[in-house]
Structure 1
Amino acid sequence: MTTAAPSHEAMADPPAGAGDAPATEGRRIARALLRDRGAVLSTAFLGLVVLMAICAPLISAVTGHGPNDFDPAAVDTNLGGLPRGSFGGVSADHLLGVEPQNGRDILARIAYGARVSFLIAISATVLTTLLGVVLGLLAGFYQGWVDQVISRIMDFLMAFPALIFMIAILSSLPTGDRSVLLVTVITVFGWPYLARVVRGQTLTLVNREFVEAARASGASTGAIVFKEILPNLRNSLIVMTTLAVPGYIGTEAGLSFLGVGVTPPTPSWGQMISSAVSWYATDPMYFAVPGLFLFLTVLSLTVLGDRIRAASDAGEAS
């Protein structure tokens, strides 16, 4: 009995994960996001905030107000420094109002505060992802004593109440530009969570048939890691990094709110909310504007990350 030879089309099909598969996967997720109203609205708002952050110097140049420029004429000293006019001093000159007592322009401070928040959050996300992926891969791929050492370090760091230790560490350090310190502290306490996921998935993948086949064919360790294992971690890494950014924005804002994060005069949303607490009864706009920007930014990033996760899961299920 003769066996039919495989068709030319079947022989020509590339293996899963090869060739243009990543681009196809990206287009599929993009199409799914475009059909989702929540994802579209979240992306639009995030685009606005990112544009404000990028164009912060231009905004200050157009409005004529820098983030730290005082405008005594915009506040009424007879009323304890409350902004003149309605809604916290909103006017053609100050589109989002002014801060009480000093008259600093809130729009300029929001734009520059967005720069600080995104810079710290994205930098911390990049570093935690690099550390988490590298150490998670090492632990899962080599196992043995390497896995034991890395896993014990992860357990040690994850056992700490991170926020309390961040406050204690940052409050004991000198003031000044704390952006680098914030990124460092967030990275130290953040990487184990991603590394734990990468380690678990790597432990599963190293025993799969395609990895064994690569070993049998004489592939190097680097080829196995970069061509066989990492492509299968792509979706998980995209989802986790997307969800890490809003978490780190919230962490920076919380630390700045408590006075151990970004220090004045550098603008920060958390710092603005902290300053506004004593004014919320008499000038609610001062509290509402940075609070609303922080809330909507974190919400938009969380919704977008959740939609990407759902689209990724749907692709794996199909």
Structure 2
Amino acid sequence: MAGIGPGPLAGQLLADLGADVIVIDRAEAPADKTDVNRRGKRSVFLDLKSEEGRSTAQALINRAGIVIEGFRPGVMERLGLGPDDLDETVIFGRITGWGQDGPLSQSAGHDINYLGLTGALAAMGTVENPPSPPLNLVADYGGGTMFLLLGILAAVFERQTSGKGQVVDAAMVDGVSAMMGLIHTFNARGKWSENRASNLLDGGAPFYRCYRTKDNLFMSVGPLEPQFFALLLEKASLPAEHGMDQNDPANWEERAELYAQAFTRRTQAEWSEIFSGTDACVAPVLSMIEAAAHPHIAARKTLVEVNGVLQASPAPRFSRSISTEINTPRAVGADTADIRKELMRHRKPND
């Protein structure tokens, strides 16, 4: 079902891997080559308020066997497209921020709100400023898209045994909370402080944060393991004895200032050359345009241009299976006639 955010990305990732993904759209629109989430998909325009539109949508979903929707709970039911309106074999992927039940299930929200409720957002950012939202990568796409895909693929696997579909309730608050297993472990062991930028992975450690360079750019520094930390100290001409008590938070604030001073002595390009090919776990912080030109990203063709639009190549990669070619998004509703013909060919006598 057409929407924004995590649902369209889920469809894109499946289409990248070769799935026939059809978007049910409520209006027609010209092709937009910049709408990356629509690449590789087909589109059908249906008036879901009409009986013909609803019946066509039902037939299309039943034939597909999987549907993805991101509406508030109850909307699909009111459209006559809820789980009870479809074949029992259909896997019904429902992706929302709050989930299908609970006090907030009918409330509006966005990534930052879902992230805020899980405890994750409170740990992001600096001490002096409010928490910093990590784009919409964590709740929408991490806790949402990826858990939806996990649930759908698990349901497909289970359907091979049961012969039945089921509802996948992918709530972003659930997914984000599930991703915080390591942080919950730290907390349970008394190794986590609720003060931002004072912990191992939130920028508190001087060996896990970003530093400004001489040319006002940044380097990402993250040698958690002692052998890698030793390389950082060596390459940055920092005191080797810091390796003796690397994980003692009592030293972190003072050492962070020292390390910050050290990194301002060279440019980002100079530091990149110094650390290139080492295990010091230091890398430049690049813009999206710069990332595409980086030798490693370029060698793997991780980012490519398609008709002038920079975008990611299909992921993950497989040893035998080959992902589909990236196709520029077609016009919204462009495949309506062809899809209707396909449905007619596959109609059962009693349909």
Q: TM-score, normalised by structure 2?
A: 0.21
Higher strand share: 2
